[in-house]
Amino acid sequence: MKKILPLTFTVLISTYASSVSANDSWYLGVLYNTQDISRDFDTAGLIAGYQYNQYLALETRLSTGTSGYSSFYGTPEAPRGEYKEDIDTQVSLLIKASYPLFESFNLYGLVGYTNTQLEISGLGQNNDSNGNVIGDYDFESTHSEHGLSYGIGLNYQLNKQFNIFIDYQILPDYEPTPTYTESSSSTTIGVNYYF
């Protein structure tokens, strides 16, 4: 984050002069997202952004999990507890560079910083000195993954105020342990409203 913010401010300041005469505007939107972060997760969230000119925007996305993963300990007839994983929050700060393809279509690239907070809960086991299970205990933990994210997308301008978009991003690698790493990705659809 400390490396991304100075870069962001440098880009914003350098584009200020070129955006003074452009049709700059704020926009808000909603998104729905499907992700592969060790498991498949879905999120829903909000977008806030500032369009400097037709080529450059700065955007923040905030979303929370809507699907999650769960399974039961024990058997269906005698469940002992439930194991759950879900995205608590996901925040992204992105630079969005667009290139007009046709009158209403833009191709764009995204680069920025993403922080994903995963919530995990379930049952742990207490063992005696011989390794025999002598009882269960509830546990809850959070795991955070953060770092560089980047992607590509397509935007369709419905009218002056509304557009719809779809994009694909590579997210920071999922590293729950020092010996295990898995790549993460997401596909997002959404609608933006320009003021």
- Range 26-194 has CATH code 2.40.50.140: no
CA 13/CA 99 separation, integer angstroms: 20
CA-CA-CA-CA dihedral for 73, 117, 148, 174, to nearest 10: -10
Position 2 pLDDT exceeds 90: no
Measured CA to CA, the distance from residue 78 to residue 75 in angstroms comes to: 5
Average pLDDT over residues 38-58: 94
User: What average pLDDT does the structure give for the chain?
Assistant: 85
Domain-wise residue ranges, the chain: 26-194
Tokens of 175: 């590293």
**Given pLDDT bands bounded at 50, 70 and 90, which one contains residue 164?**
very high
Percent of the chain topping pLDDT 90: 53
User: pLDDT at position 186, please?
Assistant: 95
Helix (H, G, I), strand (E, B) or coil at 8: helix
The string of pLDDT tens digits covering residues 111-154 is: 999 999 999 888 877 888 887 878 778 888 888 899 999 999 99
pLDDT in the model for residue 12: 45
Q: What is the pLDDT of residues 94-119, one digit of tens each?
A: 999 999 998 899 999 999 999 999 99
**Hey, is 67 helix, strand or coil?**
coil
Q: What's the confidence (pLDDT) of residue 13? A: 43
pTM strictly above 0.85: no
Specify the pLDDT at position 23: 65
